[in-house]
Structure 1
């Protein structure tokens, strides 16, 4: 079981606390008796959602973490849109921070969108604020592949 713990909306960190140290993602390992052991995967401010899938096609499960990070909450702290945890074997993960990919990606799924036989990541986000009317802007954007080297 994978879980995340940080949407940044509580804004209740002590002033000296670095937000990337307070939030993150972990997985819970079931020992078969109903007892679980926590394994930390990554510390990242605003970790909101996580999706396991084989990003690099090597047969093991990698993980993508989406974040909800508002610069108004923690100005001056660098924002990370997505975190890719590349499984290099034996549940050892190499972290790749993806900047400027898509802000506030709070939900996503995996599928072969362009029909090339490779898994693509499709995400959704929102903008906070009320412009005073009920109209919504719906946009679709496509980002080039991010390779794991």
Structure 2
């Protein structure tokens, strides 16, 4: 990374998740598609799901009642979508934290 904070967005209308690159001045240097296969994106959050040192994207999809994570391949692109659950009715928000105190994200 370049040290600049970027923005990750989900767009329900075109089923996409993308990141907007910060050019260092607070302006966007471009939109980078992560995935266009998340039906009706309702929530996105960035965290290191797989513990490899880069940020992955956890997404909620209201229409298909799913929560999944998009694996960052280290270049800001997705190395695949991993389903966490498809039993979360009308997902509206996703938060990642260690609920049970065992040292990993739940």
1:4 aligned onto 2:5? no
TM-score with structure 1 setting the length: 0.58
TM-score with structure 2 setting the length: 0.78
Is the Cα–Cα contact under 8 Å of residues 34 and 76 in structure 2 kept in the other structure? Answer: no
Q: Structure 1 segments of 4 or more deviating over 3 A?
A: none
Higher strand share: 2
> 1: CA distance between counterparts of 2:67 and 2:35?
12
Aligned twin of 2:53: 59
Encode CA deviations 1:62-82: one digit per residue, 9 max, x unaligned. Answer: 11111110xxxxxxxxx3612
> 1: CA distance between counterparts of 2:102 and 2:72?
23
- Report how many aligned residue pairs link the two structures: 97
Higher relative contact order (CA 8 A, sep 6+): 2
- 5+ residue gaps, structure 2, are 1-6
